[in-house]
Amino acid sequence: MGSRATAAKARRWVVKIGSSLLTADGKGLDTASLAVWVDQMADRVGKGVQLLIVSSGAVAEGMSRMGWSRRPKSLHELQAVAAIGQMGLVRAWEGCFQQRGLHTAQVLLTHDDLTDRQRYLNARSTLLTLLGLGVVPVINENDAVANEELRFGDNDTLAALVANLVEADLLILMTDQSGLFDSDPRSNPDARLIGEASVDDPLLDLVAGDSVSGLGRGGMVTKVRAARLAARSGTATLIAGGREEAVLTRVAAAESLGTLILPAQGPEAARKRWLAGHLQVRGRLVLDAGAVRVLRDAGKSLLPVGVGRVEGDFSRGEVVSCVDENGKEVARGLVNYSADEARRIMRLPSHRIGEVLGYVDEEELIHRDNLVLV
């Protein structure tokens, strides 16, 4: 119960809804169900939860509009039908949220956006800004332009990567099943729902099965994989039946429904391990004593004014080491400006960045969300 209560208190949710749910098993957008989910989401936003939606359904909606019964295999046909369906999908989300007095924003991503360091920071900054404005981002893979080798493969994976990107507390994968079972419930009436599991439990691999709807690309295998991806940033994952009555409201009430997959580490430890151990350091920023004190004691961002020297050649979004004047490492993080830009703005107050560079990407050289003490 303790872990359910912790999940219920999550302040940043990523909610992914699968194609079979959104399109009533391929019949076209199920606007009635969508309105019910939006009511529950709007209620969460009203209670202070920051919420992002990863929405499947563009291809399925496009198929419905074109009268196609089978998912096309040709990449160009997939791209075209996704572009057709995206129109209806976005309009449906926007209309439902407008009725609740909330704004939405469409965000289309490709794999390149989350592997390229500069695009990663741009996507993160955009999503966090939208959340700060009280806007609900509706995110989908950019099917209309993605090449096969750039595709996420399924929106479960995309949802997990978004959870990593914004450091969500909870990832909810809404599906047409009640959760993850210890055997296939379609063939075994005695199959039991797994209520809770650790992300590294080998049982998860044994019981996950493939999708049978033919609409989406994900099954329980992709959901388990997504839970493990999300756990990299300390995010818990709930696999739950989207057709359960008041499913999101009940999640917030810490009810025991679906399968809760818990990360092995908390958010801070997971992100510190990612930044400190899994990325190559591209340069160094030598800080003055005041900047070192602010980072260590106040947990603040690193501003250009606190940097006395820039070493190495790095680009925006790469990992740099922050050292004191004796060369001892204090922190490391994702830098918002290139080495050349950093040299031009070091020792300067943030309000002069625009004057010197002609533009302002961020006021901070490294934002505290992208920085860990070492």
Task: Look up the CATH number of the domain holding residue 365.
Answer: 2.30.130.10
pLDDT of residue 53: 98
- Of how many residues is the chain composed? 374
Same domain, 247 and 303: no
CA–CA dist 334, 166 (Å, integer)? 14
Tokens of 50: 């920051």
Given a cut of 50, the residues of the chain with pLDDT beneath it are 1, 149-150, 210-218, 278
Q: Which residues pair with 285 in a beta bridge?
A: 310, 322
Burial class (CB in 10 A: 0-12, 13-18, 19+), 313: exposed
Decide which of 227, 248, 268 is a domain's last residue: 268
- Domain assignment present for residue 255? The answer is yes
Quick one: 163 and 294 in the same domain?
A: no
Whether 206 is in a domain gets the answer yes
Into how many domains does the chain fold? 2
Same domain, 338 and 254: no
Q: What is the pLDDT of residue 335?
A: 93
Whether 274 maps to a domain, the answer reads no
Q: Are residues 295 and 199 in the same domain?
A: no
288 within some domain = yes
Sheet bearing 12-17, strands edge to edge: 104-109, 136-141, 50-55, 12-17, 170-175, 236-241, 259-262, 196-198
pLDDT value for 185: 76
Do 128 and 259 reside in the same domain of the chain? yes
Residues in a beta bridge with 50: 12
Q: What per-residue confidence (pLDDT) applies to 266? A: 67
Q: Which of 268, 296, 321 is the endpoint of a domain? A: 268
Residues 296 and 196 in one domain: no
Fill in the DSSP letter of residue 213: S
Where in the sequence is the domain holding 283, given as residue range(s)?
279-373
